[in-house]
């Protein structure tokens, strides 16, 4: 039982954590309700870009990782890490249903002194006021029978410089004992840990990180529109500003903001602020600007073609970020939907995503009236478009 950890959710957060923990000496039970994902991992194939097939095969060969959908293995674990998504619901409000479902599934398997760590992004107060009573409700344990901690994930898919092992990790526990336990757990495989004095500080730190990015991206998106009117290349402006060695951080324009974190976390923060009677107006404005960016590029496409009705448009790249297949919260979905509403015949190309929303990627060719470059993957060879005009959402002219 000693040094056995169960990780719930084997996606972009949980799977790298499972692999790294297994390398550091932990016996890992990976749990996911996605049966197809479990089968892939069992067969030695990684469902995400950040983990290599060879890493999974090596861990399985050494018997350091077992994966499945059976929560009963948690009874053998002294550490449980919750890495499930915390998205927005249809009303753009925080959705903790997957966290709640996970606790209901594993609660009655918990044993005394188990350390439970939440890595999912949440509002301040969630770990203490929501998760803590939820665990006691769905387990056989009293409040003092288990340890509870929070440590927000910091995963940047395909970032070759900052990996899980060398990215500083924020940790905090509900009690001093929990803080010590969570520190000891991560210190086995993370180089630098930052201990927060409270769960709420740790929770808010995650929201601050991505809200900072969200607000700055919205500013750059508006500035790119302005630069377009002036006939100035926004990327050259950013490059010039970035030569300043202090007090500046470059952000870049796009068709909007996607992924599980950046477009979601600020809304969690804004919602928490409203709950205590505070309005963070910069978040509300940033959200409005970024939500409007697909519509802006639809307008640009209309201008280029003098109307979109019955025009053949190819959208190039549909994932939220270059060189990954992740389409969560991708702003390209709103772009495609808006183009279709204008009467355009829209197809898309993305050899990383391949299939999405019941449609399949098509080849790059010169059989279109316009191509819109939404997500510039490195593999793309835009010369295959021939003389098709290109609207680049990553620039201003």
| Number of residues written out for the chain | 397
Give dist(CA 92, CA 193) in Å, integer.
32
Three-state secondary structure call for residue 10: coil
Q: Are 3 and 9 in contact (CB under 8 A)?
A: no
The sign of the torsion formed by the CA atoms of 130, 133, 135, 137 equals negative
Give dist(CA 22, CA 60) in Å, integer.
10
Q: Are 349 and 363 in contact (CB under 8 A)?
A: yes
Phi-psi region of 148 (alpha: psi -120 to 50; beta: other; left: phi over 0): beta
Q: Which residues are catalytic?
A: 261
Give the number of other Cβ atoms within 10 Å of residue 73's Cβ. 17
Q: Are 21 and 55 in contact (CB under 8 A)?
A: no
Nearest alpha-carbon partner for 117 in 46, 190, 62, 55: 190
With a CB cutoff of 8 Å and minimum separation 6, the contacts of 180 are 173
Give dist(CA 39, CA 56) in Å, integer.
12
């Amino acid at each position: 039982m000693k040094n056995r950890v169960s990780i719930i959710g084997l996606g972009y957060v949980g799977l790298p954590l499972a692999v790294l923990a297994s390398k550091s000496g932990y016996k890992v039970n990976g749990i996911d309700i996605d049966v197809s994902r479990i089968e892939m991992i069992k067969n030695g194939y990684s469902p995400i870009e950040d983990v290599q097939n060879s890493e999974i095969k090596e861990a399985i060969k050494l018997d350091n990782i077992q994966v499945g959908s059976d929560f009963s293995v948690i009874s053998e674990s002294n550490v449980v890490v919750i890495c499930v998504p915390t998205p927005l619901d249809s009303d753009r409000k925080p959705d903790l249903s997957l966290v709640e479902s996970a606790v209901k599934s594993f609660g009655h398997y918990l044993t005394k002194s188990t350390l439970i760590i939440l890595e999912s992004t949440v509002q301040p107060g969630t770990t203490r006021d929501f998760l803590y009573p939820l665990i006691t409700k769905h387990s056989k344990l009293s409040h003092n029978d288990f340890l509870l901690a929070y440590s927000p994930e910091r995963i940047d898919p395909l970032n070759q410089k900052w990996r899980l092992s060398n990215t500083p990790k924020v940790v905090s526990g509900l009690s001093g004992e929990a803080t010590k336990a969570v520190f000891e757990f991560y210190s086995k495989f993370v180089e630098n840990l930052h201990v927060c004095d409270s769960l709420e500080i740790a929770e808010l730190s995650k929201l601050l990180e991505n809200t900072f990015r969200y607000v700055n991206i919205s500013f750059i998106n508006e500035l790119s529109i302005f630069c377009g009117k002036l006939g100035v290349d926004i990327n050259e402006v950013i490059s010039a500003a970035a030569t300043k060695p202090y007090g500046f951080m470059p952000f870049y324009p796009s068709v909007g903001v996607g992924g599980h974190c950046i477009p979601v976390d600020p809304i969690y923060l804004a919602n928490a602020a409203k709950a205590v009677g505070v309005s963070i107006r910069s978040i509300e404005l940033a959200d409005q600007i970024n939500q409007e960016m697909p519509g802006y590029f639809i307008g640009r496409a209309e201008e280029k073609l003098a109307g979109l009705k019955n025009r053949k448009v190819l959208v190039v790249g549909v994932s939220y970020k270059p060189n990954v297949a992740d389409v969560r919260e991708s702003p390209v979905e709103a772009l495609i939907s808006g183009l279709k509403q204008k009467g355009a015949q829209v197809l898309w190309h993305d050899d990383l995503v391949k299939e999405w929303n019941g449609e399949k990627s098509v080849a790059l060719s010169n059989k279109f009236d316009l191509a819109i470059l939404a997500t510039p993957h490195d593999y793309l060879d835009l010369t295959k478009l021939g003389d098709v005009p290109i609207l680049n959402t990553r620039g201003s002219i």
